[in-house]
Amino acid sequence: MNVLEVARQVINVESEALVAMAARLNGEFTKAVDLLHSTGGRVVVVGMGKSGIIGRKIAATFASTGTPSFSVHPGEAFHGDLGMIRPEDVVLMISNSGETEELIRLLPFFQYQRNKVVAMTGNARSTLAAHADAVLDISVEREACNNNLAPTSSTTATLVMGDALAVVLSTLRNFQPEDFARFHPGGNLGRQLLTRVRDVMHKTNLPFCAPAATFRDVVHAITRGRLGLALVMQAGSLAGIITDGDVRRAFDRTDNPMTLLARDIMTASPKIIDPDERFAVAEQRMKELKVNSLVVVDSKEQVVGVLQIFDMAGDTQALAQ
């Protein structure tokens, strides 16, 4: 057996299933989005077996991108969990066959409560599809499993359809990074989205020098600041920046760099950033500009700190100085 060939075949089969599903999207998807977006309640996701596992992920994605949602196990629903579902909630029911007994038995309750039902199924002629207000087609030509039995292509299609719903709903709600951060306060992602530049920047013992500072004074300022740079100030305003790289290049430009002044080797108009800007934006800007440092300048055009690319790793709170 060629292991890589089998793996590529699995990926290709599932990729083709997704392309076909995208081509089939129609007004039913729009109808489903309208139901999920207009509800005054939550989205309740119900699935059994592998569909239930995928359903829990879909519910989690909804919840973290601005669509209140939770999942209910259909078996537990018959033992009290139906009480969690309110009439204003929309129910997203997932069943590839559309005939999963545990789900079909729930339909009378949803009809009694007048819950809107969105079906995600691979069988548009199924019982589930017949009783749904919107039907999302997740059918696949074949499973990627070598026996065409184990849910593989079909569960991938289900997952991607759920992602499509979540992203469309998030876009309709104008869900912003700040909103995402509120739901993800922990870990590196939460820190990047919630942390501001002022929380991370170096703000004490900044290495300043004047445009007329000697080469020796510049080197001393860089050494003293331990940031690998010196900020050139004139009349209280930022005139330029000198980095370790500028110092090294000065040795290549002249036989006697000691005769140079700060103004001769500085980079005028250094890249700046506002202290209230988000940490994630600062990180992206530094990567795009291919610079290691940003000078932090407030609304009064006063230098209040320095942010460095090295500050992007580790605990942001520990880096604040």
| Chain center to CA of 109 | 37
CATH assignment of 3-175, given 3.60.130.10, 3.20.20.150, 3.40.640.10, 3.40.50.10490?
3.40.50.10490
Tell me which DSSP letter residue 259 carries: G
Same fold, 3-175 and 197-319: no
Residue 281 pLDDT: 87
Residue 312 pLDDT: 59
The closest of 181, 210, 196, 212 to 64, measured between CA atoms, is: 181
Torsion of CA 138, 142, 144, 150, to 10 degrees: 80
CATH code of the domain occupying 197-319 = 3.10.580.10
The closest of 320, 282, 312, 306 to 230, measured between CA atoms, is: 306
Domain ranges of the chain: 3-175, 197-319
Residue 321 pLDDT: 38
Mean pLDDT, the chain cut into blocks of 10 residues (321 residues total): 93 97 97 96 96 96 92 90 94 97 96 97 96 97 92 97 96 78 60 79 94 95 94 95 93 89 94 91 89 94 91 47 38
Residue 181 pLDDT: 62
Do residues 129 and 104 make contact, with C-beta atoms less than 8 angstroms apart? no
With both helix axes pointing from N to C terminus, report the angle between 27-38 and 153-172 in degrees, rounded to the nearest 10: 60
The closest of 91, 58, 16 to 160, measured between CA atoms, is: 58
Residue 149 pLDDT: 86
Q: Is 32 exposed, middle or buried (0-12, 13-18, 19+ CB in 10 A)?
A: buried
Residue 51 pLDDT: 96
Task: Determine how many CB atoms are found less than 10 A away from the CB of residue 163.
Answer: 14
